[in-house]
Chain A
Amino acid sequence: MKVAYWPGCVSRGFTPELHGSMAAVAPKLDIELVELDRANCCGAGVIAEHNQELVDTLNARTFAMAQSVEGAAGMMNICSTCQGAQSECQERLDADGDYREQINATLAPEQLSYEREGEWWNKNLLWLLVEEIGLDNLRERVVRPLEGLRIAPFYGCYIVRPTRRLGFADHPERHSYLDMLIEALGAESVDYAGARKCCGFPVITMARTTSLRQAGRHLADAIDAGADCLVTPCPLCHLNLDMQQPDAEKFVERDDLGIPVLHLPQMVGLALGLEPKELGMNKHVVSTKDVQRKLSAAAAA
Chain B
Amino acid sequence: MADYTLKIRRFNPESGDAAYWQDFGIDLPPERSVLDGILQAKDREDASIGIRCSCRAAICGSCGVRINGKSRLACNTRIGEAAAEAAASNGGAVVVEPMGNMPVLKDLIVDMDAVHWKKVQRVVPWLLPEGPPPDREYLVPAEAMIDVTQSMACIHCGVCVSACLSLEVDPDFIGPAALAKAYRFVGDPRDGATEERLADLAEDPHGIYDCTHCFACIEVCPKDVAPMSQIMRLRRRATDDFEIKDRNNGYGHEQAFTTLIEKYGTLHEAQLLPRSFGDGSLLKSQISPHGLKNLIPAAPTAIRGLVSGKVSPRKALTHPKLPDQNQVRRIFKQIESKDERLELNLYIVGEAGEGEPEEQVGKEGVE
Residues of A within 8 A of B (CB): 9-10, 12-17, 37-41, 43-54, 56-58, 61, 84, 91-92, 95-99, 102, 106-107, 109-110, 157-158, 161-163, 197-198, 200, 202-203, 205-211, 213-214, 217, 243-244, 246-247, 282-285
CB of A202 within 8 A of CB of B213, answer: yes
Task: Return the chain B residue nearest A57 by Cβ.
Answer: B331
Residues of B within 8 A of A (CB): 165-166, 168-170, 173, 205-206, 209-216, 218-219, 232, 235-236, 239-240, 248-250, 252-254, 257-258, 261, 265-270, 272-273, 276-277, 294, 297, 300-301, 304-305, 308-311, 315, 322-324, 327-328, 330-332, 334-336, 338, 341-344, 346, 349-357, 360-361
A253 to chain B, nearest CB (A): 13
CB of A243 within 8 A of CB of B304, answer: yes
Given the known inter-chain contacts A47-B257, A47-B258, please indicate yes or no for A92 contacting B344, CB distance below 8 A.
yes
B317 to chain A, nearest CB (A): 13
Q: How far is the CA of A51 from the CA of B236 in the complex (A)?
A: 8
Q: Can you report 22 residue pairs joining A to B where beta carbons are below 8 Å apart? A: A17-B310, A40-B266, A41-B261, A41-B267, A46-B257, A49-B235, A53-B343, A84-B215, A92-B346, A95-B353, A98-B354, A99-B360, A99-B361, A109-B330, A161-B219, A198-B166, A205-B253, A206-B249, A207-B212, A210-B210, A247-B300, A285-B308
Residues of B within 8 A of A208 (CB): 297
Residues of A within 8 A of B216 (CB): 157, 161, 198
B83 to chain A, nearest CB (A): 15
CB of A10 within 8 A of CB of B269, answer: yes
CB of A52 within 8 A of CB of B344, answer: yes
| Nearest 5 CB-CB pairings of A with B | A161-B215, A98-B357, A9-B267, A198-B214, A213-B169
Q: Is the interface of A mostly helix, strand, loop or mixed?
A: helix
Q: How far is the CA of A107 from the CA of B170 in the complex (A)?
A: 43
CB of A203 within 8 A of CB of B336, answer: no
Q: How far is the CA of A282 from the CA of B169 in the complex (A)?
A: 32
Residues of B within 8 A of A203 (CB): 166, 209-213
Residues of B within 8 A of A48 (CB): 232
Q: Beyond the given A61-B327, A92-B346, please list 15 additional residue pairs across the A-B interface where CB-CB is below 8 A.
A: A46-B253, A50-B236, A51-B240, A51-B336, A58-B331, A91-B346, A96-B344, A96-B349, A96-B357, A98-B357, A157-B216, A198-B216, A205-B272, A209-B169, A243-B304
CB of A49 within 8 A of CB of B327, answer: no
Residues of A within 8 A of B254 (CB): 46, 49-50
CB of B331 within 8 A of CB of A284, answer: no
CB of B239 within 8 A of CB of A50, answer: yes
A102 to chain B, nearest CB (A): 8
Which listed residue (B315, B322, B351) contacts A40, Cβ 8 A? Answer: B322
B240 to chain A, nearest CB (A): 7
CB of A53 within 8 A of CB of B342, answer: yes
Task: Return the chain B residue nearest A244 by Cβ.
Answer: B301
Q: How far is the CA of A22 from the CA of B363 in the complex (A)?
A: 41
Residues of B within 8 A of A283 (CB): 308-310
Residues of A within 8 A of B214 (CB): 157, 161, 197-198
Q: Which of B165, B212, B315, B327 is packed against the most chain A CB atoms within 10 Å?
A: B212
Residues of A within 8 A of B212 (CB): 157, 198, 200, 202-203, 207, 210-211, 214
Given the known inter-chain contacts A41-B267, A53-B335, A96-B354, please indicate yes or no for A206 contacting B304, CB distance below 8 A.
no
